[in-house]
Structure 1
Amino acid sequence: MRKAVLASAMGNCVEWFDFGVFSAGVITAIVGTVFFPPEEGGNATLRSFALIAAAFLARPFGSLFFGPLGDRIGRKKVLSTTIIMMSASTFVIGVLPGYGTIGIAAPLTLLAVRLIQGFSTGGEYGGAATMIAEYAPTDRRGFYGAFLELGTLSGYVLGAGLVLGMHVGLGEEQMNAWGWRIPFLVALPLGLVGLYLRTRIADTPEFERLEQAGAKAKAPLRETILRNWPMMFKLICIVFLLNIADYTLLTFMPSYLIDFLHLADVSSQLTTIGVELAMIAVILPLGALSDRIGRKPLLISAAVGYLVLSWPAFAAIQTDSVLGVAAGYAVVGGLLVLMLAVVGSTFPAMFPTKVRYGAFAIGYNISTSVFGGTTAVLVGSLIEKTGNNYVPAYYLMLAAAVAIVPLLLIPETARVPIDKVGTENAPELVGSGARSS
């Protein structure tokens, strides 16, 4: 169990280490300058955000390929492939020559690398969550599932913290010249550690049971789409909110504080890292809490919170007070961690075992591609055009309104064995399913 959790969470750590590096305000601006032709009045940060968005276009294709493959040949083999592809892609960014050296080939090559990374990431999260859910005991699935997003937050803090340390230690001139490359290079050793861990565990007991019984889906992709599309649609709507909140906080906010609110680089990064550390401190207890009271109370509380509190939070962030910025940031992060603590145990339990990897990966990545990856560039562009710094709050409120209905409709599966969920044998629980089984 411990090996499976560590191996699964390590992939999320690698994925979000990249986001922690790429979305750090100083790196975002440098990448937009190094790899693109100089444009008078051009916004280097938005060019980098556009690259992030472009990479997400490949994620649904990765999920369509890797998801059903994971249902056919096993979770372990696919996850061993995705983690090395992700880490190698991030590493390559650190060695690519810039526009001043190879001209237009620089942004095109960078785009290709990001598309490969997006393709591999499309098969990562669904498989990692599936592996933990299928290993975890029923009464502790929430606790162990929270480790998946602990990997997310830890990877982000590691990436952003490394950038911050180097920026302070090297200074702006050296950071612009060569220091920005170092954080990208660190991704490869992290990926190799993850690969080692994943090759040292067996596949999940649930997949092995299906394999031994000869009960695997003969056409996983077809069965996934034809028989599970209603639940996949609910997943897409819920992930809409999760991703808007996730990518607003972790990808857009550092640059938002610098470019639109004119906070200093170091102050922006310290604020972001501080909120992330607070989220790390509470995510495992929240996961354990969901084993007692159910997943839906936490998810619905987060959705209602974003609907009601997003505008006040961004009003606080726009004050000149450091405490106001921290308080508003904490509200956005606190609501997000309510979701992060339980998505690793909730989403896999929405689908039956024989199509779990594919159904989860496809639904999750379609929503992530359309909404999550475009958050930073869309919100940033709207702020530039309208001059309204409340755009992120309005987007969060819209996403919350969309997510509330499917959250009310999905079954509570907190105490349902993982081999029973998503099947005709799964009990339809009402209210807080943790009180019945």
Structure 2
Amino acid sequence: MIGNIVEWYDFALYTAATPLVFALLFFSSNISAFQNQIEAIGLFAAGFIARPLGGIFFGALGDRHGHMVALRWTLFLIGGATTLIGLLPTYTMVGSLAPMLLLLLRLVQGAAAGGEWAGSILVVGGMLPDGPRKMVALALSQSGVAIGMVLGTAALWLVSHLSPEDFLVWGWRVPFLATLPTVVLGVWLRSAMTDLKTTSSAKHTPRFPVWAIMRDYPIPLVRGIGLRLAENGGVYLITVFGLAYGHEKHVPDTLLLLALMIGLLADGISMPAAAWLAARWGAGRTYLSGILALALLIGPFFKLIEAGGAIAVISAFVLLLALGHAPTIAVEPFLLERLFPREVQYSGVALAHEVGAILAGGLSPLVAVFLYHAVGSVQAVTVYAFGLVICSAAALFFPCSLSRKSLSAASEMG
């Protein structure tokens, strides 16, 4: 769980800082606020572009040499990049070099994150046989995602109470620098852990696992990507575009961060409850309930933010994260790990997870900003969210057992 906490602390911190810090300090003041937001969110999206590359590299490393080998490197690189962001010079100090350095560290952070999630859920899943206990254990590991995001948001929220001048000069740097001791502890703990990947499965791993996945398991890969769209796209519509939208509607930044923090806490608490429900009701039905809640609540989410009151804004984040995100992320590890055989499982889960992250998480805030400013209404963003839900529902109901190998075997038997 510690890897998930560190990864998502860093990502939540970067997510919250994108509209509140980076858009103001790392780009020219001679362009419009809209252009600043687009450029800052563009850098946010760049991290997602690097994630599949990291998934390919660390997936192959984990499949061939052991999951813990890959996971030690991913944690070190995520935390190291985040710490260095806290030391970066701003645009007024070094000009256009500032966003270039931020982009470089964001790419490193994204590539390492591309190998972290898949490896961590496979380590947890490998400890238990299929069944309710495994589903609950995987959901608890995902609670680390929410815990990390709560801590990252809380850290920025605390320093946002400084005067605006102090916050923008030095206060925002403190949460980034605070990552370092946690990373050192996490790498040390992972160095002491025994790898669960067996020698026999490593011997059967292809030399290029990603090519084997695209050749032999294209349908499970596409299905896994589809399952990510509503979950990942939805959560970044909430946490990135939701903050930017509230900022534009003159909701105080401290209230937005507090609402996001409470919403993420509700998200984390709801994940084990969703897993308990899935153990009795089925993972597919639980996932479906989450994406339907996203479709039903995304419109009211924006209305509550527009209302501007503390209760309304906090309720917006709590309802959508607890009911729309928690049921999907709680069962997603269970659904994804079952799509691929053990010899290419790390690479398969990582590739599906991270390509989905580009198409949904990386693009959704950018698409939302463009749609909102092009149409002049969040109704266009709501329609976009509906599209993500439809794609994920189609992936959920598509037969999961179809792969090139299984189709070939079936034709030979016929």
1:38-49 counterparts in 2 under 5 A? 38-43=29-34, 44-49=36-41
Q: From the superposition, tell whether residues 190 and 423 of structure 1 become closer, same or farther in structure 2 (CA, over 3 Å).
A: farther
Residue aligning to 1:29: 20
Residue aligning to 1:304: 292
Counterpart residue type for residue 389 of structure 2: A
2:125–2:138 CA contact under 8 A, matched in 1: yes
1:192-271 counterparts in 2 under 5 A? 192-204=184-196, 206-208=197-199, 210-211=201-202, 214-259=203-248, 261-271=249-259
Cα distance in structure 2, aligned partners of 1:328 and 1:90: 29
The one of 135, 151, 164 equivalent to 1:142 is 135
> What do residues 141-162 of structure 1 show as CA deviations (whole Å, max 9, x unaligned)?
1111012321111111101101
Residue aligning to 1:73: 65
1:142–1:291 CA contact under 8 A, matched in 2: yes
The one of 55, 63, 78 equivalent to 2:55 is 63
Cα distance in structure 2, aligned partners of 1:218 and 1:41: 49
1:314–1:390 CA contact under 8 A, matched in 2: no
Cα distance in structure 2, aligned partners of 1:309 and 1:114: 31
- 1:208 deviates by 4.5
Residue aligning to 1:10: 2
Residue aligning to 2:153: 160
Q: From the superposition, tell whether residues 67 and 340 of structure 1 become closer, same or farther in structure 2 (CA, over 3 Å).
A: same
Counterpart residue type for residue 76 of structure 1: M
Q: From the superposition, tell whether residues 184 and 321 of structure 1 become closer, same or farther in structure 2 (CA, over 3 Å).
A: closer
1:291-370 counterparts in 2 under 5 A? 291-333=279-321, 334-370=323-359
User: Is residue 119 of structure 2 the alignment partner of residue 127 of structure 1?
Assistant: yes
1:311–1:394 CA contact under 8 A, matched in 2: no
Cα distance in structure 1, aligned partners of 2:127 and 2:157: 37
- 1:287 deviates by 1.7
> What do residues 255-306 of structure 1 show as CA deviations (whole Å, max 9, x unaligned)?
22122x2211111111111111112222112223322332111011122333
Deviates most, 195-204 or 129-138: 129-138
Gaps of 5+ in 2: 407-414
> What do residues 132-175 of structure 1 show as CA deviations (whole Å, max 9, x unaligned)?
1112332211111012321111111101101111121x221111
> What do residues 43-81 of structure 1 show as CA deviations (whole Å, max 9, x unaligned)?
333332111011211112111211122111111100110
Q: CA RMSD in A?
A: 2.2
2:225–2:352 CA contact under 8 A, matched in 1: yes
Counterpart residue type for residue 342 of structure 2: T
Aligned length: 402
- 1:42 deviates by 3.5
Gaps of 5+ in 1: 1-8, 413-421, 425-437
After TM superposition, the score normalised by the length of structure 2 is 0.91
Secondary structure of 2:88 counterpart: coil
Give the structure with the larger helix fraction: 2
2:15–2:44 CA contact under 8 A, matched in 1: no
- 1:320 deviates by 4.5
After TM superposition, the score normalised by the length of structure 1 is 0.86
Deviates most, 248-257 or 331-340: 248-257
1:310–1:394 CA contact under 8 A, matched in 2: no
Counterpart residue type for residue 290 of structure 1: A
- 1:218 deviates by 4.5
User: Is residue 376 of structure 2 the alignment partner of residue 383 of structure 1?
Assistant: no
Q: From the superposition, tell whether residues 167 and 297 of structure 1 become closer, same or farther in structure 2 (CA, over 3 Å).
A: same
1:52–1:373 CA contact under 8 A, matched in 2: yes
2:255–2:310 CA contact under 8 A, matched in 1: no
Cα distance in structure 1, aligned partners of 2:27 and 2:360: 25
Cα distance in structure 1, aligned partners of 2:190 and 2:106: 24
Cα distance in structure 2, aligned partners of 1:267 and 1:278: 16
Q: From the superposition, tell whether residues 312 and 160 of structure 1 become closer, same or farther in structure 2 (CA, over 3 Å).
A: closer
2:293–2:320 CA contact under 8 A, matched in 1: no
Q: From the superposition, tell whether residues 189 and 391 of structure 1 become closer, same or farther in structure 2 (CA, over 3 Å).
A: farther
Cα distance in structure 2, aligned partners of 1:367 and 1:112: 22
> What do residues 60-111 of structure 1 show as CA deviations (whole Å, max 9, x unaligned)?
2111211122111111100110110011001111111122222221111111
Q: From the superposition, tell whether residues 291 and 68 of structure 1 become closer, same or farther in structure 2 (CA, over 3 Å).
A: same
Secondary structure of 1:189 counterpart: helix
- 1:359 deviates by 0.8
Cα distance in structure 1, aligned partners of 2:72 and 2:375: 45
Residue aligning to 2:396: 407
Q: From the superposition, tell whether residues 207 and 346 of structure 1 become closer, same or farther in structure 2 (CA, over 3 Å).
A: farther
2:263–2:319 CA contact under 8 A, matched in 1: no
User: Is residue 85 of structure 2 the alignment partner of residue 93 of structure 1?
Assistant: yes
The one of 171, 186, 193 equivalent to 1:179 is 171
Cα distance in structure 2, aligned partners of 1:281 and 1:308: 21
- 1:24 deviates by 2.2
